Amino acid sequence: MMELFATTAFLFCAALFAFLLAINRVRLYNKLKEPNNNLCATENTCCGEIKLQNGELPAGKLPTRKPPARMPTVMPSDKKAKKVVPLSVNYHFTRKCNYKCGFCFHTAKTSFVLPLDDAKRGLELLKNAGMKKINFSGGEPFIVKKGAFVGELVKFCKQTLGVESVSIVSNGSLVSERWFEKYGEFLDILAVSCDSFDADTNEKIGRQQGQKSHLISLRSVRRLCADYKVAFKLNTVVNTHNKDENMVEEIMQLNPCRWKVFQCLLIDGENTGPDALRRAESFVITNAEFDEFLRRHKDVEYLVPESNEKVRALCLVGSYCYIRPNAVCEPEPRFS
């Protein structure tokens, strides 16, 4: 009986918050320029999302054993909201990562990952509620069971649930051809984070592991996406170390279906504040510096800018919500 109540409450909460997302989606966003790639044209996880996250404990107090595997029992904050459809879901199933990017706002405060069967059960509930798009992120998604965990979720969503758009956001360093051979046919879009095409700059940012070149990994993933017919996307965070860089030539060579350019953002408890594991204040740039970066790259037709003002506006009206497996619901992050 308790399990039925938990799953029902989870489904209702997901539908509730999706309603808040949908009614503000058209108002806040100008229509994005449609890229040439049809797969990318169907993927727009920057708005209208529900963001699922793993359980979280205070910094320095990691659990000695895994929390009990159960679905969220989050009670809605607005009882008058109508039942609607959670069209787009962004599932951050892990906080662990093999990189140490100094501005990261989803840090490894816990190693907990929901058991695979429970994760599938939650995804099935969302699909039954009308989910059409799912994006898997982290942390680094490919770090859990050497990519098998996210691979099984991708396969389940596409093959079993028939989700229209299935995507992953990764740093690309752990992606292998063996993974593509097993799971590539079920993946629509793979987005790779790349903040610089200069090795020294990537080292300063922390976007690397040991002596392994991030740029070599990036180009390898680009080739694999082409070989296995998976749409390739790029994400870049503009910060103090790369704000003056001109990436036009390299971006054109990679030819992603979409290039999302973010302004470095501070979130209390994640990359700033007393409870943060990382301090990103030194990475923050001004709005003018971000605008100058965009001006320098204005000829890249598939560039999609994500300024801090835009992200804050989305969160303040409920376009992002955090649903945690420990039954804690946060409608928005705490900006600094």
Amino acid residing at 146? K
Give the model's pLDDT for residue 170: 97
- Choose between 271 and 186: higher pLDDT: 186
Active site residue 97: yes
Contacts of 195 (CB under 8 A, 6+ apart): 101, 201, 202, 205, 207, 236, 237, 238, 239, 241, 242
CA 261/CA 236 separation, integer angstroms: 5
- Choose between 176 and 66: higher pLDDT: 176
Active site residue 104: yes
- The pLDDT confidence band at residue 45, using thresholds 50, 70 and 90, is very low
Q: Where along the chain do its domains lie? A: 2-24+45-56+84-97+108-235+311-330
Give the model's pLDDT for residue 71: 45
Q: Which of 32, 133, 53, 137 is nearest to 85 (CA)?
A: 133
Is domain 2-24+45-56+84-97+108-235+311-330 annotated with CATH 3.20.20?
yes
Q: Which residue out of 13, 46, 97, 321 is catalytically annotated? A: 97
Of 61-65, 146-150, 256-260, which gets the smallest average pLDDT?
A: 61-65
Q: Which residue out of 40, 101, 264, 321 is catalytically annotated? A: 101
Give the model's pLDDT for residue 231: 98
Active site residue 157: no
3-state helix, strand, coil in the chain (%, to 5): 35, 15, 45
Tell me the pLDDT of the chain averaged across its residues: 76
For residues 155 and 147, the answer to whether their CB atoms sit within 8 Å is: no
State mean pLDDT over 144-165.
98
- The pLDDT confidence band at residue 186, using thresholds 50, 70 and 90, is very high
Give the model's pLDDT for residue 81: 53
For residues 278 and 102, the answer to whether their CB atoms sit within 8 Å is: yes
In eight-state DSSP terms, residue 158 is I
Give the model's pLDDT for residue 168: 98
pTM: predicted TM-score of the whole model, two decimal places: 0.74
pLDDT in tens, 260-269: 999 988 777 6
| pLDDT(41) > 50 | no
Q: Which residue out of 13, 104, 157, 194 is catalytically annotated? A: 104
Give the model's pLDDT for residue 43: 39
Contacts of 230 (CB under 8 A, 6+ apart): 180, 184, 187, 188, 189, 190, 224
For residues 95 and 54, the answer to whether their CB atoms sit within 8 Å is: yes
